[in-house]
C-alpha cells in the first residue's frame, strides 16, 4: 500500500510539473488538477486498482458517480480534462502502452487560446540577446531553436549533436510516442548552433570529469557539462524573459505557440504547420488559426477607418 501511494504521488507530481513548467498552467489550475486526480486515485483504490491499471470503464463509472453526486457540468469537464491530460502524459512518457481515455467522449471544457509573445517584442528581445559568455551563448542558441523550430522542451533537452544537419538546415527530433520528425531551423538558429558547438559546448563538457555516453552526445548541457533538465530550461527562460523586458509569462511552450501563430500570420498553410509541430491530428493545430484570426481582427479594428464607432 505504501509503495502504491508513493507511485501515485510520483506520477501525479511528474504530471503537475509538466503542465506547470512546460504548458504554463497557473498554480490554481494545477491545484485543481491535483485534487481531481487524487479523487480519481481514491476511487480506484476502493476498486483495488492503481492509476496504471485504470481502464476506460473505470473512468466512465467514476464520471457517472460524480454526476449522480450532483457535480456541475463545469466540474465534470475539469475532471475529464485532468484525467485525459494525465493519461496522455503517461502514454507520452512510456509509462503505459494504451490510453484508457482514447475512445471516451469526455465533457468539453472551454478551450483557452494559447498565449503567444508578440512578434515585434520577441524579435527585439532576441536581437538584444547577448552571447558574450558561454552560458549566454548557450541560452540564446537554445531560445532561437525553441522559437525557430517549434520544439517541445522535452524534445529540446533530448537533442543530440548528431540530430543536427547544419549544412542542410534541419533538426531531427523525437516527439510524443517517440515518433521522429524532421523540422527546419532558421538561419539565426543555425549560426548560433555552429558557434555553440564550436565554442561553448566543448567547454561545458570539459567540466564534467566523468561524462556518460548520453552527456557526450547531448546537445544542450548545463554548466557542469551534464544534460539539461526541463526544469533547468524553464528557469533559464524565466530569467531571460525578465532580463529582456518581456511582459508575458515566459515558459517553454509559449515559444512553440508563438512559432505556430507567427507562421500562420505570415501565410503558412495549416498542414505544413501541423507537420512541423508533429501533431497527429490537424484539429490540434487548428487552435492557432483562432489566435491568428483574433490578431487579424485587432489589426482591422485599429486600422480601418470604418471599423471604429463614430467613424466618418
- pLDDT tens track for 78-97: 999 999 999 999 988 888 99
Q: What is the pLDDT of residue 106?
A: 78
The residues annotated with a catalytic role in the active site are: 152, 176, 253, 256, 279, 288
Complete domains list, the chain, with CATH: 2-92 (1.10.150.130), 119-298 (1.10.443.10)
Question: Grid coordinates in use for 267?
Answer: 501565410
Looking at residues 245-270, what average pLDDT do you find? 89
Q: What is the pLDDT of residue 53?
A: 92
Q: What are the φ and ψ backbone dihedral angles of 22, each rounded to 5 degrees? A: -85, -40
Q: What is the pLDDT of residue 84?
A: 92
Q: What is the pLDDT of residue 290?
A: 75
DSSP string, 274-311: HHHHT-SSHHHHTHHHHHHHHHHHHHHHHH-TTSSTT-
Is the pLDDT assigned to residue 259 strictly greater than 90? Answer: yes
Average pLDDT, the chain: 87
pLDDT band at 307 (very low <50, low <70, confident <90, very high): low
The residue assigned the cell 538546415 is: 169
Is the pLDDT assigned to residue 9 strictly greater than 80? Answer: no
Looking at residues 51-64, what average pLDDT do you find? 94
Q: What is the pLDDT of residue 92?
A: 83
Higher per-residue confidence, 180 vs 2: 180
pLDDT band at 287 (very low <50, low <70, confident <90, very high): confident
Least Cα distance to 192 among 141, 236, 143 occurs for 141
Among 114-118, 121-125, 229-233, 257-261, the range scoring the smallest mean pLDDT is: 114-118
Q: What is the pLDDT of residue 308?
A: 62
Q: What is the pLDDT of residue 215?
A: 92
Q: Give the predicted TM-score (pTM) of the model.
A: 0.71
Is the pLDDT assigned to residue 311 strictly greater than 60? Answer: no
Amino acid at each position: 500500500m505504501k509503495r502504491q501511494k508513493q507511485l501515485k504521488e510520483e506520477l501525479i507530481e511528474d504530471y503537475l510539473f509538466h503542465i506547470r513548467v512546460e504548458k504554463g498552467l497557473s498554480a490554481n489550475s494545477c491545484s485543481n488538477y491535483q485534487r481531481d486526480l487524487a479523487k480519481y486515485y481514491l476511487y480506484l483504490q476502493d476498486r483495488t486498482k492503481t492509476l496504471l491499471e485504470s481502464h476506460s470503464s473505470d473512468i466512465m463509472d467514476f464520471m457517472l458517480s460524480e454526476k449522480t453526486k450532483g457535480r456541475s457540468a463545469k466540474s465534470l469537464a475539469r475532471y475529464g480534462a485532468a484525467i485525459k491530460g494525465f493519461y496522455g502524459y503517461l502514454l507520452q512518457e512510456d509509462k503505459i502502452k494504451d490510453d484508457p481515455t482514447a475512445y471516451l467522449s469526455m465533457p468539453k471544457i472551454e478551450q483557452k487560446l494559447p498565449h503567444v509573445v508578440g512578434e515585434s517584442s520577441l524579435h527585439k528581445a532576441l536581437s538584444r540577446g547577448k552571447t558574450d559568455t558561454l552560458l549566454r551563448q548557450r541560452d540564446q542558441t537554445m531560445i532561437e531553436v525553441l522559437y525557430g523550430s517549434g520544439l517541445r522542451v522535452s524534445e529540446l533537452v533530448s537533442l543530440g549533436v548528431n540530430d543536427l544537419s547544419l549544412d542542410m538546415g534541419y533538426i531531427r527530433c523525437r516527439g510524443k510516442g517517440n515518433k521522429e520528425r524532421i523540422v527546419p531551423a532558421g538561419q539565426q538558429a543555425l549560426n548560433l548552433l555552429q558557434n555553440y558547438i564550436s565554442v561553448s559546448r566543448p567547454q561545458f563538457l570539459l567540466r564534467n570529469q566523468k561524462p556518460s555516453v548520453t552527456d557526450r552526445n547531448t546537445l544542450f548541457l548545463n554548466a557542469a557539462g551534464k544534460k539539461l533538465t526541463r526544469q533547468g530550461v524553464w528557469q533559464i527562460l524565466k530569467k531571460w524573459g525578465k532580463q529582456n523586458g518581456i511582459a508575458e509569462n515566459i515558459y517553454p511552450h509559449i515559444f512553440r505557440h508563438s512559432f505556430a501563430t507567427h507562421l500562420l500570420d505570415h501565410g503558412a498553410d495549416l498542414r505544413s504547420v501541423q507537420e512541423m509541430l508533429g501533431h497527429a491530428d490537424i484539429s490540434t493545430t487548428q487552435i492557432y488559426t483562432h489566435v491568428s484570426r483574433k490578431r487579424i481582427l485587432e489589426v482591422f479594428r485599429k486600422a480601418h477607418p470604418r471599423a471604429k464607432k463614430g467613424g466618418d
